[in-house]
């Protein structure tokens, strides 16, 4: 196993790797040290790029993935010296809004691919990936960074007269994911930048235009307790007649997070069984054509919440007249069918400009099983507080497993896989205020005090994209709202951070997103290393004027665990924090004193349902002492209009008072023996609830 140290033993040889802690401001050796235009400032986790002087701008969101990949890696190779290329990646308008804040001359190009020829003299050539082996997109990206090249198909290299530096076609045929990335570690890692790690999916699944879905079945009630679990048989014959039958499982109520959940499936064509499988098995993989938006739950079930879904493809024998699917199914399902392939696979282009420019190594490894062991080795080969930017496979399960695995190796995570134009934004300077806003002190009364916090702020791409959409809602500022944000935007996009500071109203309070300078689970860290994390967190909090944090601890089979005393003490000793909101779901004061910790309370649904949940939560409160509730607001399902509606409902009930987080924690600190305590035992895991499962005999494994 590769261990944390200043060298790596590779194929029996010792290779110097320059493993210098980024938070100490060291300099990596080898190719990474000579990157012009990139500055690693002492005390910072991530580098700054040169200030742009002129930008060539193009909208590339309608291009195919391979063209976006070519342009994004071109952007990285060019912008590492000085940012010159800026692209719009979707039709939300967000990239254009941020472009308006960059005060440099710009030239807009209607034909984005013409920029390849215009900048061809600034790259050394092309790394050709193998379309038949998806993970070679990542290997090619790492190589492109090391060689100052772009990633391209063989056809693109010919079209744009690019010299082929490395052709990966056939090189990894038949090799497993683990073997492919082990080769990268052995051959490329010593040359890569050691002060950060990255993880990106090599490909993505995109919708095919014009596909029409026919609804087959829908749960019309908002059921979240598995009470409708049963064996359901659906006639999907409407999908017969095309290349195959595609069956989609989605959420019939997309705003509350309790969508379709399936524990087994059987398919019968004219009375003959043609498929029988359990989720997350090789048998299921044969039929699962789109599963990246779904997750595996505690019942070994596959589920998809909100706007997420998954799709099975069933190819019926020729002449089939009736096709039926029987599933062990529950919660808020929406099932539809089509006879046309609804998706296609293409390269995933986002964030690769940053990867190429910094000469980082990029991987895509499930944190579980054999790939997880390799990922552990990679994390273990870095110094404490090395950032991992990107994301993990397997959605929620990958998140929990990946962030926990990183924490055990003293690595913090930054969700950045959809962060775009990072090579430009990190070069745009801005005066970030370190001033902490003065607290509006509230007299102590026997009220149920509520503070509302919008999550996801650790997520760099959220701060760039979805948070900006929420922020522009005209109802923002009508209700006291805490907005989580990443203080490490001071490195990756200082002008974005300054924008939020400057445009915040008196009812908007910026607080640090989970769990400080990077998303992590404190209780999973080696205790000897955790001070390093809280020390770097303290520096970023002081730099950005933040003194509250929404944080996570680690989990067990029952759910989230309250922060242990040593984690709280480390925050208290090394940061200016005045309060911690811990992800908990059950609410309650976990610790009081100089650094109080309170668990988040959450309820499904929108404002009316959330208010009903709060009423049930305080039902046993006698009103003889203050009651403190940290309300978690679901960033992907709520907006400022919803928050304002909840605020109005609470304002109409004289038992409640809504406060900003600073006033809330000031009051909590001044209240002796505040309550209530957190529930015990810990809240059940997200998908741990179930009724006895009806049986389908699975196919032999």
Answer yes or no: do 456 and 368 share one domain: no
Q: What is the pLDDT of residues 219-244, one digit of tens each?
A: 999 998 999 999 999 999 999 988 89
Give the range among 111-125, 128-142, 458-472, 671-685 with minimum mean pLDDT.
Answer: 671-685
Does pLDDT of 679 surpass 80? no
pLDDT at 675: 75
Q: Is 502 exposed, middle or buried (0-12, 13-18, 19+ CB in 10 A)?
A: exposed
Q: For 6-35, what is the mean pLDDT?
A: 34
Which CATH number covers residue 507? 3.20.20.490
Whole-Å CA distances, 177 to 188, 365, 395, 478, 681: 16, 8, 18, 50, 40
CATH number, domain of 273, equals 2.60.120
How far is Cα 79 from Cα 423, in angstroms, rounded to an integer? 6
CB 251 within 8 A of CB 305: yes
What pLDDT does residue 694 have?
35
**pLDDT value of residue 368:** 87
Residues 418 and 559 in one domain: no
Residue 159 lies in a domain: yes
Same domain, 268 and 365: no
How many residues does this entry show for the chain? 701
What pLDDT was estimated at residue 442? 86
Tens digit of each residue's pLDDT (9 = 90 or more) over 106-163: 999 999 999 999 999 999 999 999 999 999 999 999 999 999 999 999 999 999 999 9
- State the residue range of the domain holding 188: 7-205+347-425
Nearest one of 175, 138, 516, 178 to 367, comparing CA atoms: 178
Domain assignment present for residue 467? The answer is yes
Q: Which two tokens mark 570?
A: 């480390």
pLDDT at 548: 98
Strand, helix or coil at 392? coil
357 and 290 within one domain = no
C-alpha angle 546-551-557 in degrees, rounded to nearest 5: 180
**Structural domain includes residue 463:** yes
Per-residue pLDDT tens over the stretch 477-511: 999 999 999 999 999 999 999 999 999 999 999 99
> By C-alpha distance, which of 491, 351, 349 is closest to 425?
491
Would you state the pLDDT for residue 595? 95
Q: Residue 291: its pLDDT value, please?
A: 79
User: DSSP 3-state assignment of 75?
Assistant: helix
What is the gyration radius of the CA atoms in the chain, in angstroms? 26
- Residues 421/424/430/434 CA torsion (nearest 10 deg): 50
The CA-CA-CA angle for residues 418, 202, 277, to 5°, reads 105
Whether residues 163 and 262 fall in one domain: no
Residues 624-627: contacts with CB within 8 Å, 24+ apart? 624/446, 625/446, 625/671, 625/675, 626/444, 626/445, 626/446, 626/447, 626/448, 626/449, 626/667, 626/671, 626/674, 627/447, 627/448, 627/449, 627/675, 627/676
pLDDT in tens, 324-347: 999 999 999 999 999 999 888 999
Whole-number pLDDT of residue 512: 98
Residue 292 — very low, low, confident or very high, per pLDDT cuts 50/70/90? low
- Report the alpha-carbon distance of residue 420 to residue 469 in Å, rounded: 16
Instruction: Answer whether residue 304 shows pLDDT above 50.
Output: yes
The total number of structural domains in the chain stands at 3
Burial class (CB in 10 A: 0-12, 13-18, 19+), 569: middle
Is residue 197's pLDDT more than 80? Answer: yes
Helix residue ranges, H only, 489-639: 489-492, 494-503, 527-544, 565-574, 607-617
pLDDT at site 16: 30
Write down the pLDDT at residue 31: 40
Single residue among 367, 392, 425 that ends a domain in this structure: 425
pLDDT tens column, 548-571: 999 999 888 777 888 999 999 999
| Domain end call among 393, 425, 457 | 425
Instruction: Please tell me the predicted confidence (pLDDT) of residue 189.
Output: 97
DSSP label at residue 31: G
Give every CB contact of residue 91 below 8 A, 6+ residues apart in sequence: 61
Token pair of 649, please?
Answer: 């409902």
- Residue 325 and residue 358 in one domain: no
* 280/33 Cα distance (integer angstroms): 43
In this structure, the answer to whether residues 53 and 78 fall within a common structural domain is yes
pLDDT in tens, 247-279: 999 999 987 778 999 999 999 999 999 999 999
Indicate whether 477 and 404 sit together in one domain. Answer: no
Percent of the residues in the chain that have a pLDDT greater than 90, as a whole number: 78
**What would the DSSP string read from start to end of 430-453?**
-----PPPPP------S-EEEEEE
**CA–CA–CA angle 291, 518, 420 (5° rounding):** 60
Q: Tokens 């599933």 appear where?
A: 327
Structure confidence at residue 23 (pLDDT) = 29
Once rounded to an integer, what is the mean pLDDT over residues 80-90? Answer: 97
Examine the domain organization and report whether 289 and 399 are in the same domain. no
Question: Is residue 695 in a domain?
Answer: no
- Of 292, 326, 341, which one is at a domain's C-terminal end? 341
Is residue 380 assigned to a domain? Answer: yes
Tell me which residue has tokens 């967190």: 537
The pLDDT of residue 308 is above 80: yes
- Which residues are registered as beta bridge partners of 150? 126
Report residue 299's pLDDT band, with 50, 70 and 90 as the boundaries: confident
436 assigned to some structural domain: no
User: Are 172 and 225 members of one domain?
Assistant: no
Q: Which pLDDT score, from 0 to 100, does residue 134 have?
A: 96
Any domain includes 527: yes
Q: How far apart are CA 615 and CA 670, in angstroms?
A: 25
Could you read off the pLDDT of 368-422 as tens digits, one per residue? Answer: 889 999 999 999 999 999 999 999 986 666 888 999 999 999 999 999 999 999 9
- Give the tens place of pLDDT for each residue, 597-625: 999 998 888 999 999 999 999 999 999 99
- The pLDDT assigned to 397 comes to 67
Please say if the pLDDT value at position 687 is more than 50: no
Mean pLDDT score, 194-203: 96
118 in the same domain as 42: yes
CA distances to 198, 383, 640, 668 from 496, in Å:
22, 29, 20, 32
Q: State residue 35's pLDDT score.
A: 61
Whether residues 291 and 376 share a domain: the answer is no
Is residue 697 in a domain? no
**Could you write out the DSSP letters of every residue in 490-516?**
HHH-HHHHHHHHHH--TTEEEEEPTTS
pLDDT at residue 25 in the model: 33
Percent with pLDDT over 70 in the chain? 91
pLDDT value of position 534: 98
pLDDT at residue number 396: 64
Q: Cis peptide leading into 24, omega within 30 of 0?
A: no
């Amino acid at each position: 196993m590769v261990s944390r140290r200043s060298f790596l033993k590779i194929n029996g040889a010792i290779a110097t790797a320059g493993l210098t802690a980024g938070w100490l401001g060291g300099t990596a050796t080898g190719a990474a040290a000579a990157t012009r235009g990139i500055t690693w400032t002492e005390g910072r986790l991530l580098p700054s790029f040169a200030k742009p002087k002129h930008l060539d701008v193009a909208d590339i969101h309608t291009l195919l993935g391979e063209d976006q990949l070519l342009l994004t890696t071109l952007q990285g190779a060019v912008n590492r010296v000085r940012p010159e290329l800026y692209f719009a990646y979707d039709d939300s308008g967000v990239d254009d809004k941020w472009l308006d804040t960059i005060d440099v001359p710009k030239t807009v190009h209607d034909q984005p691919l013409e920029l390849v020829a215009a900048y061809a003299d600034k790259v050394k050539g092309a790394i050709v990936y193998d379309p038949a082996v998806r993970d070679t997109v990542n290997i090619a990206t790492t190589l492109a960074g090391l060689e100052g090249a772009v990633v391209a198909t063989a056809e693109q290299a010919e079209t744009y007269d690019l010299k082929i530096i490395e052709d990966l076609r056939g090189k990894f045929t038949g090799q497993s994911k683990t073997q492919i990335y082990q080769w990268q570690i052995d051959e490329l890692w010593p040359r890569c930048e050691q002060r950060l790690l990255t993880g990106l999916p090599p490909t993505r699944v995109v919708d095919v235009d014009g596909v029409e879905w026919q609804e087959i079945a829908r749960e019309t009630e908002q059921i979240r307790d598995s009470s409708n679990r049963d064996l359901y048989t659906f006639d999907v014959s409407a999908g017969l007649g095309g290349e195959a039958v595609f069956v989609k499982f989605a959420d019939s109520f997309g705003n509350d997070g309790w969508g379709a959940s399936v524990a087994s499936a059987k398919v019968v064509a004219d009375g003959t069984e043609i498929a029988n499988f359990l989720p997350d098995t090789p048998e299921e993989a044969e039929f699962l054509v789109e599963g990246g938006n779904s997750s595996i739950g505690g019942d070994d079930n596959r589920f998809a919440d909100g706007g997420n879904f998954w799709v099975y493809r069933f190819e019926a024998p020729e002449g089939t007249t009736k096709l039926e699917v029987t599933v062990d199914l529950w919660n808020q399902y929406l099932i539809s069918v089509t006879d046309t392939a609804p998706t296609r696979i293409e390269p995933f282009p986002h964030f690769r400009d940053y990867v190429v420019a910094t000469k980082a190594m990029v991987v895509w490894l499930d944190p579980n099983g054999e790939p997880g062991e390799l990922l552990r080795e990679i994390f273990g080969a870095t110094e404490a507080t090395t950032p991992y930017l990107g994301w993990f496979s397997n959605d929620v399960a990958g998140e929990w497993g990946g962030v926990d695995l990183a924490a055990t190796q003293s690595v913090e995570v930054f969700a950045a896989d959809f962060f775009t134009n990072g090579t430009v934004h990190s070069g745009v300077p801005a005066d970030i205020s370190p001033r902490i806003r003065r607290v509006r002190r509230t007299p102590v009364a026997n009220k149920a005090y509520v503070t509302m916090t919008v999550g996801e702020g650790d997520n760099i791409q959220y701060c760039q994209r979805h948070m900006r959409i929420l922020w522009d809602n005209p109802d923002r500022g009508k209700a006291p709202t805490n907005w989580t944000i990443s203080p490490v935007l001071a490195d990756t996009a200082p002008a974005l951070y300054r924008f939020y500071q400057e445009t915040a109203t008196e009812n908007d309070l910026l607080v640090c997103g989970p769990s400080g300078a990077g998303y992590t689970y404190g209780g999973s860290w080696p205790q000897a290393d955790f001070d390093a994390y809280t020390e770097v967190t303290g520096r970023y909090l002081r730099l950005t004027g933040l003194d509250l944090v929404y944080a996570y601890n680690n989990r067990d089979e029952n759910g989230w665990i309250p922060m242990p005393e040593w984690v709280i003490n480390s925050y208290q000793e090394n940061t200016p924090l005045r309060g911690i909101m811990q992800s908990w779901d059950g609410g309650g004061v976990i610790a009081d004193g100089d650094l109080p910790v309170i668990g988040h309370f959450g309820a499904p649904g929108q404002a009316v349902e959330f208010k009903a949940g709060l009423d049930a939560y305080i039902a046993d409160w006698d009103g003889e002492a203050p009651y403190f509730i940290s309300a978690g607001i679901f960033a992907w399902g709520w907006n400022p209009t919803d928050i304002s509606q909840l605020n109005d409902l609470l304002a109409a009930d004289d038992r409640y008072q809504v406060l900003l987080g600073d006033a809330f924690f000031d009051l909590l600190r001044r209240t002796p023996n505040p309550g209530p305590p957190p529930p015990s035992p810990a809240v059940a895991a997200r998908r741990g609830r179930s009724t006895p499962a009806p049986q389908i005999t699975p196919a032999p494994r």
